[in-house]
Amino acid sequence: MPTDVNVPALGESITEATVGQWLKQPGDAVALDEPIVSLETDKVSVEVPSPVAGMLAEQVAKVGETVAVGALIARIGDAGAVAAPAPSSPPAQAVTPAAEPAVSSTDEAALRLSPAVRRAVLENHIDPSAIKGSGKDGRLTKDDVLAAAQSKGSSAPAQAGALVESKTTPSPVLTNAPASAGAQPSIGDRREERIKMTRMRQTIATRLKEAQNTAALLTTFNDVDMTAVIDARARYKDLFEKKHGIRLGFMGFFVKAVALAAKDVPSVNASIEGDEIVYHDYLDVSVAVSAPKGLVVPVVRNADRMSFAEIEKAIAAYGKKAKDGALTAEDMRGGTFTISNGGVFGSLLSTPIINPPQSAVLGMHRIEDRPVAKDGQVVIRPMMYLALSYDHRLIDGREAVTFLVRVKEAIEDPTRLLIDL
């Protein structure tokens, strides 16, 4: 008897999803807990596993169809069940069928693509079956696809050169032919591609526009001398990594600095609900991470109570999950303050948008050497611009500037983080 596969619970407040891609086709063998379909929600992509081992008998929902939590989307049949053969004529001669090449479990695993890998495959126009997977059980990773795309791109110039050489061989017949006076220069193929926005992309667009329409957004700026932090990292990075198994990055310093500054300016860590202001005695930092399908903001909870090592480990784990498309709705639930690091992409300056219902977001940017005045002398220092976007309905300009100055002071003198100044 077939086993029903229903849409699982997808997280708090999520009641429906969209069928993104079927990872198995009817007739394919499936193992227990093996993903068979990818569902896209407003926040994350979720792979639905098979509740039993057997064969995918039916795909009830189509790609692009919206399905509610608990809805039937597939049926799994007995692995031994096969379609009944058509009535045959009287046997004239026994024919031994040729043995079909066996498909290894590694090959099957390689063709099971995570959402991040599928995105990379579509963007780079790569045939996944032609790539050898380096992941667990032979699965393809995003790095495998990008490496294949780079290899494909590097071979293109050589092919193009050969083509040009063959085309430029003079022809005695065409040499005497006059050029057409009205000929238009060729501009090559011009194509357009239309792709439906994913639910996550639609939700991001809606929430960001709502933030602009609802909040009284304002941004204040400051710059910070990164010399002390850079020196501290250089001095202790090896010992830190040896002891904690994680590299010491800049985010740990900034999260700790934000926690320190929020004690002096609690409105930055507050939110508006109706006609009330909600102050939080904890700091849940949403860390903006670039994922294959858009910007996501997983939450580092109780960041004000965490050590440098705990913060760095939490951020590194979220970064890996975002890259693999494995973030869950629970990972991104809540958050009282956001830190966005556009500097990793080379941004010099920006005005980040708050993530409702939060009231502020800190934007970090790239570090570059600039001349600054120190003790009456012009010196070169590694400087970073900081931007604080905030909801002016809740946070006054004085509070916003004070908060950003506190962050600047803590970064320029990390000792403040230890003695709570």
In 3D space, the residue among 396, 405, 337 whose CA is nearest the CA of residue 218 turns out to be: 396
The beta strand positions in 292-415, using DSSP E, are 294-296, 299-300, 337-341, 360-364, 367-374, 377-391
The Cα–Cα gap between 142 and 421 comes to: 44
| Residue 129 DSSP code | G
The Cα–Cα gap between 354 and 222 comes to: 18
Query: Where do runs of H (alpha helix) occur along 62-141?
Result: 105-110, 115-124
The three-state secondary structure class of 9 is coil
Contact 411, 253 (CB under 8 A): yes
Give 169-192 as a DSSP string: S--HHHHTSPPPTTPPPP------
Catalytic residue among 4, 107, 231, 392: 392
Q: Indicate the pairing of strand 72-77 with strand 217-225.
A: unpaired
Tokens of 172: 């005695």
Residue with tokens 């494995």: 326
Q: Count CA within 13 A, CB hemisphere, residue 50.
A: 27
Tokens of 400: 């916003």
Contact 364, 311 (CB under 8 A): no
Tokens of 315: 């951020």
| Residue 358 DSSP code | B
Contact 356, 326 (CB under 8 A): no
- How many residues in the chain? 421
Q: Indicate the pairing of strand 285-287 with strand 337-341.
A: parallel
The Cα–Cα gap between 348 and 345 comes to: 9
Q: Indicate the pairing of strand 72-77 with strand 54-59.
A: antiparallel
State yes or no: is 396 an active-site residue.
Answer: yes
Residue 378 identity (one-letter amino acid) = V
Cis amide prior to 157 (ω within 30 degrees): no
Catalytic residue among 4, 107, 143, 396: 396
The Cα–Cα gap between 334 and 186 comes to: 54
What are the residue numbers of the active site? 392, 396
